[in-house]
Amino acid sequence: MLRWRHPGSIARLPVRLPPVQISGSNALVTGATGGIGHAIARELHSQGARLVLTGRRTDTLSDLAAELGARELPADLSDADDVDRLAEQAGAIDILIANAALPASGRLETYTPEQIGRAVQVNLLAPIALAHALTPAMAARGRGHLVFVSSLAGKAATAGAPLYNATKHGLRGFASSLRIDLRASGVGVSTVFPGFIREAGMHADANVTLPRGVGTRSPQDVARAVARAIVENRGEIDVAPPALRLGTALAGIAPELAAAASRRMGAEEIALAYERAQREMR
Ligand SMILES: NC(=O)c1ccc[n+]([C@@H]2O[C@H](COP(=O)([O-])OP(=O)(O)OC[C@H]3O[C@@H](n4cnc5c(N)ncnc54)[C@H](OP(=O)(O)O)[C@@H]3O)[C@@H](O)[C@H]2O)c1
């Protein structure tokens, strides 16, 4: 079987390997206790995955694990040793869904160095460490898939959230480079970019009013995108209404113009509202 550590042999072999099937695969879902994590776990369960679920809130984790017949492994991703323990105890994992994150909202000067470290550790270093720990065994088996849940804030800058933007842009860079490196190993890599998600999760919990006309998607939409990313081995999938996706794409081409337009739509006031609602979660 192909291994990602041997690029010389990979270069001479066919590169199109069949995508991973969800049914019968062992899938580790981080942030399973959250709004989107619940939807992802239920979607993968409905498609026949065997689940290992993780989060910090043990009661919520146990309830979901019981509902889905899943294994539960509580872990604090802000602790690097706990991340290593999670990877070790999870066993043979075919699919990693790196979904957990802190909202990391608010201007930089409102953060302590410790809070900065925690945001980067949970949102970026923990997904990297889990990928590092789990990928060699996937490559050895010649099958596996890594899905990173980023955000449209990982494609285009948003006001008043430099740490969230940094970690979500970081995930995109990490995943897209890793996808190239793992191309021939049988391990797929995808990044999913939700916009504003209604009903459950960190945006819904913050209860911030969006400008008129800014549409939302549901946690189930994100979950279906995660499943599609795996079965179709897609590099990137946005989960947002067309106008928001278009705005994000334009911001990639003309960031100054996009920043001015979103300022006029009240982006700075909205950022302040998130900061107030999510300050206790740093
Ligand atoms: N909701 C949106 O509108 C939206 C938009 C774009 C992107 N996203 C992304 O979607 C993903 C899921 O977010 P969500 O909306 O479902 O948010 P959420 O409901 O707040 O869930 C966040 C999850 O991350 C886990 N988590 C946070 N800190 C942790 C830590 N130190 N150790 C272990 N787990 C930790 C939480 O677990 P515990 O609470 O059990 O600790 C929870 O399960 C995130 O990556 C987020 O950035 C969300």
Residue-level pLDDT at 57 = 98
Active-site entry in 4, 148, 164, 196: 164
* Residue from 168, 202, 236 whose mutation best tests the ligand 1 pocket (most atoms within 8 A of CB): 202
Strands (E), the chain: 26-29, 50-53, 71-72, 95-98, 144-149, 187-194, 236-239
Alpha-carbon dihedral angle through residues 48, 122, 171, 50, given to the nearest 10 degrees? -10
Give the span between the Cα atoms of 95 and 65, in whole angstroms: 17
The pTM of the full predicted model, rounded to 2 decimals, is 0.94
Spatial distance between the Cα atoms of 78 and 114, rounded to a whole number of angstroms: 11
Residue 213: what pLDDT? 87
Query: Token match 């995508």: residue?
Result: 19
Question: Nearest to residue 33, comparing CAs of 62, 65, 55?
Answer: 55
What's the 232 CA to ligand 1 centre distance in angstroms? 25
Q: Which atom of ligand 1 has the smallest separation from the CA of 197? A: 3
Q: Is 164 a residue of the active site?
A: yes
| Cα–ligand 1 centroid distance for 121 (angstroms) | 13
Q: Which helix (H) or strand (E) holds 233?
A: none
Q: Is 263 in the pocket of ligand 1 (CB under 6 A)?
A: no
Please give the distance, rounded to the nearest whole angstrom, from the Cα atom of residue 147 to the centre of ligand 1. Answer: 14
Q: Which amino acid is at 13?
A: L
Buried b (16+ CB within 10 A) or exposed e, 165-195: bbbbbbbbebbeebbeebbbbbbbbbbbbbb
DSSP reduced 3-state for 195 = coil
Q: How far is the CA of 117 from the centre of ligand 1 (A)?
A: 17
- For tokens 């900061």, what's the residue? 275
Query: Which ligand 1 atom minimizes the distance to the CA of 38?
Result: 16
pLDDT in tens, the chain (282 residues): 444 454 444 444 445 567 899 999 999 999 999 999 999 999 999 999 999 999 999 999 999 999 999 999 999 999 999 999 999 999 999 999 999 999 999 999 999 999 999 999 999 999 999 999 999 999 999 999 999 999 999 999 999 999 999 999 999 999 999 999 999 999 999 999 999 999 999 999 999 999 988 999 999 999 999 999 999 999 999 999 999 999 999 999 999 999 999 999 999 999 999 999 999 999
Which of 99, 218, 226 to mutate to test ligand 1, by most ligand atoms within 8 A of the CB atom?
A: 99
Cα-to-chain-centroid distance, residue 213:
26
Among protein residues, the one whose CA lies closest to atom 47 of ligand 1: 101
> Which pLDDT score is estimated for 79?
98
Strands 26-29 vs 236-239: parallel, antiparallel or unpaired: unpaired
Q: Is 37 in the pocket of ligand 1 (CB under 6 A)?
A: yes
